[in-house]
Amino acid sequence: MKRVNNAELIKSYKEGNNEAFEILLGKYKLSLFNYILRMVGIKEVAEDIFQDVWIQVIKLLPRYREQNKFSSLLFKLANSKSIDYLRKNKRNLQCGGKVEGVQCRSEATSSIQSLIEKKEILSLLNNTVMELPAKQKEVFLLRQHSGLSFKEIAGILDCPLNTVLARMHNAILNLRKTLKEEK
């Protein structure tokens, strides 16, 4: 199957090809949903925000021009809607909650013990990320789930590049410290 870029898909959608939109949705569905879920921590809320983001995208696409990466627009909308939800519900960005859908896959030769250890590590890492300070968590999750550069993340968050880099650096330091303590 030929790999089509976002600009071609958006152009095709604007010309009336709804299948182009489905392909675009499919490209970002998992990473965008996981980002939202990890921001808000509640699956049902993440599903609602995910739908809201795509509804807004549908409204914006007729006027959309490929000035920036489409993924930047998408994650900026998701970030904004997630933060709006958290503010409205007086929850901070450090909300806890189990992220569903994290699965460990083991090779056929892996033992059950190995699988259990992998799940424990993923669970610990997930919980540690959820406990990061709000701004560090935001940068860390955007970088992890969006595939965006730090410069693009700075644009989404409307802050200087050095601030984003410092937040990521501090997030990694905090993760290392907490995980080291858990050993």
**Non-local CB neighbours of 64 within 8 Å, separated by 6+ positions:** 10, 70, 73
Annotate 108-130 with b (16+ C-beta within 10 A) or e (fewer): eeeeeeeeeeeeeeeeeeeebbb
Domains of the chain: 1-91 (1.10.1740.10), 111-183 (1.10.10.10)
Closest CA to 70 of 162, 147, 163: 147
What pLDDT score does 2 carry? 57
Closest CA to 141 of 41, 4, 7: 41
Closest CA to 158 of 92, 72, 95: 72
Q: Which amino acid is at 75?
A: F
Rounded to whole angstroms, the Cα distance separating 113 from 69 reads 43
Complete DSSP assignment for 130-160 = HTS-HHHHHHHHHHHHH---HHHHHHHHTS-
What pLDDT score does 109 carry? 38
What pLDDT score does 51 carry? 93
What pLDDT score does 122 carry? 65
With tokens 């007729």, the residue in question is 62
Rounded to whole angstroms, the Cα distance separating 130 from 102 reads 14
What pLDDT score does 47 carry? 92
Rounded to whole angstroms, the Cα distance separating 77 from 48 reads 13
With tokens 């995980």, the residue in question is 179
Question: For the chain (length 183 residues), average pLDDT per consecutive 10?
Answer: 75 86 90 89 90 90 77 89 84 41 38 55 73 87 84 89 91 83 67
